[in-house]
Amino acid sequence: MAGVTAALTLGSAALSAYGSYQKGKAEKEQAEANAQIYDAQAKNIREAQKITAGQFRTQGNVLRGQATADAARNGLKISGTTASSISQSIMQLQMDNAYQQFNLEAKRINAMNNAALQRYQGKMAYRNGLMEAGKTALTAGIDYKNKYWKGFNNPFSKKERLSGGFDISNEALFYGQPMA
C-alpha cells in the first residue's frame, strides 16, 4: 500500500509540475499575441501619421490656391496684409499638423511600450512556471525521501560526527540542523 501511495504522490507532483509549466507557457503565448496586437496598433498609427501629414499638405495647398485666386479676383497683389493673412493661416495649419503628429507619435510610442511590456510579462510568466514546476518537483522529491527512505540504509541519514560532537552528515549540512 505504501508503494501505491508513494507512486500516486509522485504522479500527482509530476502532474502539478507539468501544469505549472503549461500555465507559464500559455501565459507567454497570450502575452505574445497581445504584443502583436500592440505592434499592429503602432504600425497603424504610423500610417495615420503619414495620412494626416498628407491631408495637412493638401489643406495648405488649397489655402494658398484660394487666397491667390481671391486676391487675383479682387485685383489685389499678394503683399502686405494679404500676404500676412495667408502666412498666418498657413502657419496655423502647420502648428495644427505638428500637434497632431506629436499626439499620434505619443500614441505610437505607447503602443510599442505596451508590446514590449507584454513580451516581458510573458517571459516572466514562463520563467515563473518553470520555477514553480521545479519547486513542486523538488518539494515532492524531498517529501518522498523523508517519508519513504528513512531507515533504508540511506547514506544521507548516517550520523557522522567530528571529535567535538558536531554532526557533519549530508542531511545535517543540507537542512542546516544544529551542530550539537
pLDDT digits (tens, 9 = 90+) for 41-99: 999 999 999 999 999 999 999 988 888 888 788 887 777 777 788 888 889 999 999 99
CA distances, 38 to each of 25, 51, 108, 115 (Å)? 20, 20, 9, 5
Nearest of 28, 20, 19, 13 to residue 129 by alpha carbon = 20
pTM (2 decimals)? 0.65
CA-closest candidate to residue 9, choices 130, 127, 146, 132? 146
Distance, in Å, from the CA atom of 68 to the CA atom of 177, rounded to the nearest integer, reads 94
pLDDT for 35: 96
Residue 166 near residue 180 (C-beta atoms within 8 A): yes
Q: What is the pLDDT of residue 179?
A: 47
pLDDT digits (tens, 9 = 90+) for 96-151: 999 999 999 999 999 999 999 999 999 999 999 999 999 998 888 888 877 776 65
pLDDT of residue 178: 54
Mean pLDDT, all residues of the chain:
84
Residue 170's pLDDT band (cuts 50, 70, 90): low
pLDDT single digits (tens) 26-49 = 999 999 999 999 999 999 999 999
C-alpha cell at 65: 490656391
Residues in the chain, overall count? 180
